[in-house]
Homo-oligomer: A and B are copies of this chain.
Amino acid sequence: MLDQLKAQVCKANCDLVASGLVTLTWGNISGIDRAQGMVVIKPSGVPYADLTPDCMVVLDLGGRIVEGTLKPSSDTPTHLILYRAFEKIGGIVHTHSRHATMFAQARREIPCLGTTHADHFYGAVPVTRPLCENEVVEDYEGWTGHVIVERFAGLDPLAMPAVLVAGHAPFAWGPTVAKALDNAIALEAVAEMAIGSWKLDERTPDLEPWVLEKHYQRKHGPAAYYGQK
């Protein structure tokens, strides 16, 4: 079952290495089959070079393992909470990519300073609040999901397909596994460029709202005209 999704999730995890987003095993990708309500995710701590589609772990949205002999990523509870709360997303990418993590550690939003950002993220990329001690003790990975969902009150997860978890690292997502990976790659790039622009001028202005609107809509709006479709 889910052969195609397992192949996609496996490939995306392997592509993480070439993308430069991961060091050691610090990253995991999952995908969901909404019709079946099944999530496919990377096994925990396995080097990317050793991954095959058959290694992937299949769970239902309640977290019960349905297929697979390996333990799923330790971040699985976070993924499941996001899939339950953000009903239109099809894939999730978690990394500790360098520049996005710098922002997460500094607990600052990534500002929208240019069209590269606007092509992917409709405004500043938000940061969660830090977790309280009792939340960490009680259910660390679950609460990581809950504070993301809490931060997204009033936000559209497809228009803002990424978040920075304070003191931790980014999560990105998208309508498909491949788009989620693209967003994770874009997130790292815009984080790096925002740091650089601020170094040049700490008062670098946010992108004009009409350019943000234009760039986002030409790629994602109903009248999108970027790409071949």
Contacts and interface: CB of A to CB of B under 8 A. Distances in A.
Interface of A: 23-24, 26, 43-46, 70-71, 74, 96, 98-99, 101-108, 113-116, 119, 130-131, 133, 136-137, 140, 167-169, 182, 185-186, 189, 192-201, 204-205, 207-208, 210-211, 214, 218, 225-228
A172 B56 CA distance: 32
A98 B189 contact: yes
Contact of A201 (B43, B108, B167, B200): B108
Number of copies: 4
A71 B169 CA distance: 37
A155 B80 CA distance: 38
Contacts of A103: 197, 200
A106 B197 contact: yes
B226 A45 contact: yes
A150 B189 CA distance: 30
A96 B186 CA distance: 11
A74 B226 contact: yes
Most chain B C-beta atoms within 10 Å of own C-beta, residue among A136, A200, A227: A200
B210 A133 contact: yes
Given A106-B200, A168-B115, A45 B227 contact: yes
Contacts of A99: 196
Contacts of A115: 96, 167-169
B185 A23 contact: yes
Contacts of A192: 98
Contact of A114 (B46, B101, B195, B211): B101
A66 to B, nearest CB: 19
Contacts of A198: 106, 200
Contact of A113 (B105, B116, B197, B228): B105
9 contacts: A23-B186, A45-B226, A71-B228, A103-B197, A105-B204, A106-B197, A114-B167, A131-B210, A168-B211
